[in-house]
Amino acid sequence: MKSILQLLLVCAVLLLQAEAHGQRTTLYHENFTGTLTNLTRNWKLADTPLNTPAYPKASRGPHLHTDKKPGEYTLELGEFSTGGYEDIIVSWGGKKTGDPSVKLEYSYNGGVWVPVDNWFEVGTEWSVVNAEMGVSLPHCFNKARVKLRWTYTVTNTGTSYAIDDITITGRPYGGPSIPSSTSHIVWKQENAGEIPFTKARYVDASPFTGSYYSPNTNNVKIQWSKEERGATMYDQHVTPDFQNMYTVGIAQQHSSSTASGYSRSSIHFDSFVKGINLTLYDIDETKNECIDVVRIIGYTREGNPIYPKKEHTMVTSINEFISVGDNGFAIRSKSDQVPNKKKSIYDLYPDDPEGNASVAFHEPVNRVDIIYSNGLYGQSEVLHSGKQKIAIAEVTWRDIALPTPPVDDTTPSAIGTPTPGPNPLPVTLTAFDAKKVADGAQLNWITASEIDNERFVVERSQDGKSFAPIGEVKGAGNSNTLLKYSFLDRAPRHGANYYRLTQYDYDGVSETSKVVYVNVRVVPSDKASLKAYPNPTSEELTIQTSATSATDQVVYIFNSVGSVVKSVVLPKHQASLNIPVRELPSGLYLVRSGQAVTRFYKQ
């Protein structure tokens, strides 16, 4: 929350239905902070310093690790439910030394422990298991009671394992052969500048009689309302200022120097919806200005409040999940208490995902409140009264038209249970995902075995229904080892992009994978911005543009008197490049490409 920047409350709101393909919902999360429950372990608790290199959005702080003493170390995550969800994936961050790998097992409904194979282990530095794709647990779908167990054998002082950020996610389950389906708020470019509190205002006396937002298929109506108490929202509209995506931003100024002031943004649904997953951006601290604190509360059919649970809340190393009062909980920026320091280590730019946090509600709710304050809401300590801002990003929930089959609470886990779904394929696909990267949309997948696999055809869709091929990746033919594949879509469409793989054998027989999804904001090249980092630098500079171009772009570097000292070509469809600058004299330089300009300092 940079108070020196213009603060925008973003609310790009066109609700779209992800008709055939459900988004992932957090079912369980453990980052080993606070009180540890539902865990059985002989692993030791340790601390990860904030400056430790790690994977994106790592919580750092506390983690578990094995001891140096040789022996078997077991970590068991007690019972949790996957009822109503399929395509279950478990992910964790970790690092290991020595040859042994950790053994992962699952059990459900009181059955035996079943080992999970065919995944890539973490590395010797902090990283995410299975090449950041998580490990699939296909048998654990829609189960009442699931347990997981990690076992590592320390053979000598040169072998060890550390684990953090255990996360289990799933997609809404509607029954056999019924595609998963969620609804979600997608902030769109055409809504830029829109204010949801006026565009679709909720009025207690006559709710949902005026304008409202609605998905284009399931007819859930959505309206917004706000309350300001000791805090004034001075900007609130749809904006792309957070992580290059359209979001709902909340910018406010407090009228006093106590923590009693807050704003309340409420999202009202005309029907009760389940499995809400809400993501917020930019929860951080600005020195001598503000400490972001956000309370998120859902409301049941009876009007009773539901508070987030720790195991359904995901935070990073920048923010934390804390208790407030007798029953309440909040997500708060951590605070840098070093005196006379101009900038907090917890102060982020709006485009930094390290300020993200997300909350899931599994109970049916028809209203969600986001209460935003500067310091602990309801507490009396004197804090800052400066400007602050956050953004309401993705909001997803289970499609109300999706059937709700009974949760399986009787079938026990067993060794050798056939994998759910169609007959075994010539190619065993163990992981497939898509994510937004600087150069477009990155697709990654892993196979455990292949028989006569000629190729994968990558297909893309904007509605989740009609797919068209956009590229091919050559298969390995025959293999019985883990293989990782990737494909970069350098020209994704603006908004929702759905992807699937069609695998072809040498004889022409084909099979199609599940569908994955990523939301991308495409910026016109004439409106692109530039970033230069690290800044300052002494050896090499990375230039990154917010939008790729269909043609090559020339990047110029000017010195302080306006002379061009270096020029390089950024190839078409590429969003970044590295430039050596060690030969340049120390001083301030300007970087320009088209109308986009940035600066850096050469040490």
Interval 180-238: pLDDT, tens: 888 888 777 667 788 999 889 999 878 898 888 886 556 789 999 999 888 788 888 88
Integer Cα distance of 393 and 375 in angstroms = 22
pLDDT score of 298: 95
The residues, ordered by sequence, that sit 6+ positions from 406 with a Cβ below 8 Å of its Cβ are none
Work out the pLDDT band at 522, boundaries 50, 70, 90: low
Mean pLDDT of 402-408: 93
Ramachandran category for residue 477: left, alpha or beta (phi over 0 → left; psi -120 to 50 → alpha): left
Let me know: does 182 contact 85? Beta carbons within 8 Å.
no
The CA distances from residue 220 to 82, 185, 271, 432, 519, in Å, are 25, 11, 6, 31, 21
Let me know: does 402 contact 175? Beta carbons within 8 Å.
no
Q: Is the pLDDT of residue 504 over 90?
A: yes
Rounded to the nearest 5°, which phi and psi values hold at 310? Answer: -55, -40
Helices (H) and strands (E) in the chain, counts: 1, 43
Q: Which of 87-91, 268-272, 453-457, 566-570 has the lowest mean pLDDT?
A: 566-570
Integer Cα distance of 446 and 440 in angstroms = 20
The share of the chain scoring above pLDDT 70, in percent, equals: 87
Let me know: does 599 contact 588? Beta carbons within 8 Å.
yes
Integer Cα distance of 474 and 472 in angstroms = 7
Q: Is the pLDDT of residue 9 over 60?
A: no
pLDDT score of 178: 86
**pLDDT digits over 89-113, tens only?**
999 999 999 888 999 999 999 999 9
Integer Cα distance of 598 and 358 in angstroms = 32
The CA distances from residue 90 to 28, 179, 341, 454, in Å, are 9, 21, 40, 30
pLDDT score of 181: 83
**pLDDT digits over 317-358, tens only?**
999 998 876 667 899 999 887 766 777 888 888 878 899 999
pLDDT score of 331: 94
Domains of the chain as residue ranges with CATH? 14-19+181-398 (2.60.120), 25-172 (2.60.120.260), 427-520 (2.70.50.50), 525-602 (2.60.40.3080)
